[in-house]
Structure 1
Amino acid sequence: MLNIKVSLLIFAACGLIGCESGPLQERSKQALVQNQEKQELLSQLGAVLYFDVNLSKHRNQSCATCHNPQKGFVDDRENGVYGAVSLGSDNSSLGDRNAPTAAYAALIPAFHTNTVGDYIGGQFHDGRESTLAGQAGGPPLNPIEMGMESEEAVSIRIKENTFYKKRFEEIFGHPVLEDSALMYTAMTQAIMAFEETELFMPFDAKYDRVLRGEETFTAEEELGRTLFFSQQFTNCNACHQLNASPFYERETFTNYHYENIGIPENSQVREKDNSMGKKDAGLWLNPRVTDARHKGKFKVPTLRNVAVTGPYMHNGVFKELRTVIEFYDHFNNPSRTVNPETGVEWDQAEWPETVNLKELEKGPALTDQKIDALLAFLNTLTDKKFETPVH
């Protein structure tokens, strides 16, 4: 639960403080305008903070480093491990997980359980933070990421900048300049406001344009769409569909649940560095989860921009999207015994005891033509700004 200071901070940031005279309707209109104006100021501040490398220990890393707006909001650096995981501000530390896209992250519900006890939502691969603001507060203080020592250290860096001091005071009030905890929370609120803008979730992929009647699918894309939403030929939509209709314009292509689909360990990353010192237990590492049956489960990711946000899976173990589809198919197809990226048999699951074989073993084997069609459809989920120009 938020403490009183933080609650007041958010209250002020939303522009709700004030008691103008006049009819209630007029006061409501004024409050709405003021709220919109403050939200715009907040998102503008968040945009500057998002790109500020000075908020990392060695002044060389920002939010945008690992969530690059030009590259599908993922970390496109090679990092010595084919981009599988991210390099820290110290230029030596490696994480154990692939940086998920920040695109459409504002639409992820807060971490919760449904009526049958399934865990849903939350930020990070294990849902340990319920909100984008909580997520934004993690990397600056993570010693293997941005590496700042404390909220106070971040606050000092913020106050080095006269623009920040003026804007923080303007939006949150003077006390924010005197309290490092308040300032840190204000910073995360601003970054969240920026990540809630249309830049991060434009819904303008070809899929959306087709639904609006602006374009049409090719024959191959249409086959892929049919396969994707079919319950007879694939089970893709068992996890990668939130809304009941496959024609829902705001589909994010995830149910936000947690699954163990048998992903193997990324041995290349572990050989370089294993900061965790053990296997990644995923959801079970979330402080709110204690049941060992959830070991090895990770949140189902959005498929928006999936064609341009590789490498894939929570640990970046697969470099190509086609490999991902072949991996799924190998549970049902006796001819797909070899990982096309390694040329040898698929590695064993990191957590074999909790793999959801009930879902994975549904459906018939896929032909290469059907895999091509699924890839074609998945390419239609790429936001317009990331589409490869046609020459």
Structure 2
Amino acid sequence: MNSSSNVVPPLTAHGSQNAGAPRRYRLVLWSALAVLLMMMTCAVYAFAYPERMPKAVGEMLENEFGVNPHPVHLMRPQNAPLSLLAQIGKQIFYDPSLSASGTQSCASCHSPQHAYGPPNALAVQLGGEHLTLEGYRPPPSLTYLYRQANFSIGPDPVDMDTTPVSLTDTAQQAQGVARAQKNAGVAPAAPAMVPQGGLFWDGRADTLQAQAMGPLFNPVEMANTSEAEVAQKLLRGGYAEKLKKLFGPAMLHSPVMLVDEAMSAVSRYQIEDASFHEFNSKYDEWLEGKARLSPAELRGLRLFNNQDKANCAGCHLSQPGRDGLPPLFTDTQYEALGVPRNPALAQNKDAKFFDMGVCGPYRHDLATQTQYCGMFLTPTLRNVSTRQTFFHNGVYRDLKQVMDFYNLRETSPEKIYPRDAAGKVEKYNDIPPKYAANIDVADAPFDRKFGDRPAMSEQDIDDIIAFLKTLTDGYKN
């Protein structure tokens, strides 16, 4: 008889036949608890000292918690009381009596409640003696201009003592030079000899003082006709006596000098007042490790920086400089994007009129440099979600329309441009055909061809817009 089936397993030292199994269970349980405790400890430690986290842990924290695994310290402008000159400039900035209409100030078109941009959704603002004339272009925001360099073409000279080369000569040298491709993180002053710096959409002013002077004498803005006319208004406003304390009495006998010093006061106000460069958006807080991005915002940031997808950072630089200066979200260069014509503008009622940016019609020194026709300054994207009109002709009214333009311009142009009487799509219809070669077709997302799949999905676009909203100043954690 086989009795092996009746053999009883030997007892353990504790008299239990299955003592090994509970021990294994306890080991697994304790191991799981240890791993969980370690993860919690890493998370707490990372929030306190995120710069010390290993790469893998940093990626986990970014993906799971939306924190910046590599925080930085941003070097913001010093916030100090306004100088006397800046205080005078502030008064002038808000004074409507300096306009021909008596009702329009600098702040009318550069509203402090709208990031010093337009306060409404008009494509262009109304001005002139009776506020009935359309402006030429939408007023850009006045924020974040304190670091804007003078207008130039190509890289800065190595030897600053060298006699400057004229813009015309530099532009001539640039002809035939291949345009550098825009990839995320590429710094300004590329070897492509493209224009950069300057103020206004076409860079025709080099200083904030010159920029402030422009609207005073523009017939469709504040519409003054001479320095003498503005000087009389400054005298009536009491500004001359205030400026005399700083610059002496000679200015009282020179309208040109008086107006010049008054506009220097406006420029000092823009430079000194912190509201023009706050750097306190959610993105700034995230850069310093003080805020967390939502999953959509984080996806949008990655798409923004992805040089094969949205490639926004190719022109709108998103990373802090090595010196800790916060990113301005512009490379301050000029691009010909080929945005569609805005038929609502009064100047566009003339089918032969074209606003060609750097080569005219509102600046004249580069009119013969046709390789720049259609190029306009790349604006900062800080506070972009507060704007209600976009591009140099105000053709678009929301960020979704803007993103659709970038995404579909080449792959589905029929969704961007109108058709002529014969049904043909009028692609690049706001630039003369002979200058169409200036338009960027090399950089993503413009590097797609007709019929290709667009670079971005609808979800991608929603995520990028979510990220753009993190660039609005005044974030409260």
Task: Specify if TM > 0.5.
Answer: yes
Aligned residue number for residue 48 of structure 1 = 91
Aligned mate of 2:442, from 354, 358, 367: 358
Q: 2:102 and 2:344 mapped to 1: Cα distance?
A: 28
| Shift in alpha-carbon separation, 1:373–1:245, aligned structure 2, 3 A | farther
Q: 1:207 and 1:310 mapped to 2: Cα distance?
A: 21
State which drifts further: 164-173 or 182-191: 164-173
Aligned mate of 2:353, from 278, 283, 296: 278
Q: 2:425 and 2:403 mapped to 1: Cα distance?
A: 13
Aligned residue number for residue 109 of structure 1 = 149
Aligned mate of 1:252, from 303, 328, 333: 328
Q: Which runs of 5+ in 2 are unaligned?
A: 1-79, 156-190, 449-453
For residue 246 of structure 1, report the CA deviation from its aligned partner: 11
Q: 2:349 and 2:269 mapped to 1: Cα distance?
A: 33
For residue 346 of structure 1, report the CA deviation from its aligned partner: 8.0
| Shift in alpha-carbon separation, 1:247–1:209, aligned structure 2, 3 A | farther
| Shift in alpha-carbon separation, 1:237–1:68, aligned structure 2, 3 A | same
Paired residue secondary structure (2:344): helix
Aligned mate of 1:87, from 98, 122, 126: 126
Q: 1:331 and 1:57 mapped to 2: Cα distance?
A: 42
| Shift in alpha-carbon separation, 1:277–1:245, aligned structure 2, 3 A | same
Q: Does 1:185 align with 2:185?
A: no
TM-score normalized by the length of structure 1: 0.81
Q: Does 1:376 align with 2:460?
A: no
Aligned mate of 2:245, from 166, 170, 176: 170
Aligned residue number for residue 111 of structure 2 = 68
For residue 238 of structure 1, report the CA deviation from its aligned partner: 1.4
Q: 1:237 and 1:206 mapped to 2: Cα distance?
A: 18
TM-score normalized by the length of structure 2: 0.67
State which drifts further: 189-198 or 229-238: 229-238
Deviation readout 1:273-292 (Å, 9 max, x if unpaired): 67x97110111023332311
Larger radius of gyration: 2
State which drifts further: 232-241 or 144-153: 232-241
Q: 2:375 and 2:416 mapped to 1: Cα distance?
A: 22
Deviation readout 1:140-180 (Å, 9 max, x if unpaired): 11111101110111000000123x23311112111122211
For residue 46 of structure 1, report the CA deviation from its aligned partner: 0.6
Contact kept? 1:260, 1:297, Cα under 8 Å: yes
Aligned residue number for residue 288 of structure 1 = 365
Aligned mate of 1:152, from 225, 228, 235: 228
Deviation readout 1:297-318 (Å, 9 max, x if unpaired): 1011110111011210001000
For residue 187 of structure 1, report the CA deviation from its aligned partner: 1.1
Q: Does 1:338 align with 2:419?
A: no
For residue 251 of structure 1, report the CA deviation from its aligned partner: 0.6
Contact kept? 2:417, 2:425, Cα under 8 Å: no
Paired residue secondary structure (1:369): helix
Q: 1:316 and 1:54 mapped to 2: Cα distance?
A: 28
Contact kept? 1:283, 1:298, Cα under 8 Å: yes
Q: 2:116 and 2:296 mapped to 1: Cα distance?
A: 28
Q: 1:345 and 1:375 mapped to 2: Cα distance?
A: 32
For residue 96 of structure 1, report the CA deviation from its aligned partner: 2.1
Aligned residue number for residue 203 of structure 2 = 127
Deviation readout 1:97-149 (Å, 9 max, x if unpaired): 11111111222211112234221010110000111100100101111110111
Q: 1:248 and 1:230 mapped to 2: Cα distance?
A: 22
For residue 244 of structure 1, report the CA deviation from its aligned partner: 7.1
For residue 332 of structure 1, report the CA deviation from its aligned partner: 5.2
For residue 214 of structure 1, report the CA deviation from its aligned partner: 1.7
Q: Does 1:322 align with 2:365?
A: no
Contact kept? 1:204, 1:383, Cα under 8 Å: yes
Paired residue secondary structure (1:284): coil
Deviation readout 1:334-364 (Å, 9 max, x if unpaired): 4x852599xx998632125121111252376
Paired residue secondary structure (2:135): coil
Matched pairs, number: 343
Q: 1:310 and 1:64 mapped to 2: Cα distance?
A: 17
| Shift in alpha-carbon separation, 1:273–1:337, aligned structure 2, 3 A | closer
Q: 1:298 and 1:246 mapped to 2: Cα distance?
A: 28
Q: 2:263 and 2:141 mapped to 1: Cα distance?
A: 18
Contact kept? 1:68, 1:76, Cα under 8 Å: yes
| Shift in alpha-carbon separation, 1:53–1:179, aligned structure 2, 3 A | same
Paired residue secondary structure (1:263): coil
Aligned residue type for 2:274: E
Paired residue secondary structure (2:279): coil
Deviation readout 1:18-54 (Å, 9 max, x if unpaired): xxxxxxxxxxxxxxxxxx98x7111111100000001
| Shift in alpha-carbon separation, 1:277–1:130, aligned structure 2, 3 A | farther
Q: Which runs of 5+ in 1 are unaligned?
A: 1-35
Aligned residue number for residue 194 of structure 1 = 269
| Shift in alpha-carbon separation, 1:327–1:224, aligned structure 2, 3 A | same
Aligned residue number for residue 265 of structure 1 = 341
